[in-house]
Amino acid sequence: MRNSAVMQQMIETALEAEREQHRVQSAREREEIAAQVTEEVTARVTDEVTARVTSQVTNEITARVTAQVSTQMAEMQAQMAAQSQMMQEYDAKMRHFVEGSGRVVTSEPEVTSVMAPAPIIYRSSIDSRSDEANVQLADDRSDKQPWISVGHKTTTSK
């Protein structure tokens, strides 16, 4: 009977050791599964949060940029309108001025300015002791001729 009790004790010890080993193995498997699930859930949540935040930030930036561009466009349009108004007022003043002078107003450009090489034809001198001016024809005609302006270009009068 003693053998049988020792055997029974050994069987119980072996069973207890096997149960403990099974518990430890089950705990490891649960930890591995929990770690894997946690990693997968964390990855999904991170992806979702990143997508939401990115979308929200993108929308906010787009809204800000759109507002800034709209404001700048409105300012530019206002400036252009003011410049247009000033140009119309200036044009009206000039037309009134030209019409008041008896000149003919036209929108066709005309060239009234000519730059041409020409020799200096006359020389003049004024005697400070009298009111007379002395004008003489210039006889020296060199190849180096000065340029002289004889008018100017205008689009508002003839």
pLDDT of the chain, 158 residues: tens digit per residue: 678 888 899 999 999 999 999 999 999 999 999 999 999 999 999 999 999 999 999 999 999 999 999 999 999 999 999 999 999 999 888 888 777 666 555 555 555 555 555 554 444 445 455 555 554 444 555 555 454 444 444 444 44
Q: Is 97 domain-assigned?
A: no
Q: How many domains does the chain have?
A: 2
- For residue 95, the model assigns a pLDDT of 80
Provide the residue range defining the domain that includes 33.
1-79
12 and 62 together in one domain: yes
74 and 9 together in one domain: yes
- C-alpha of 2 from chain center: 98
56 and 125 together in one domain: no
Q: Is 8 domain-assigned?
A: yes
Final residue belonging to a domain, choices 60, 79, 98: 79
Q: Is 130 domain-assigned?
A: yes
Q: Is 99 domain-assigned?
A: no
Q: Which residues contact 145 (CB under 8 A, 6 or more apart)?
A: 117, 118, 119
52 and 112 together in one domain: no
pTM of the entire structure?
0.37
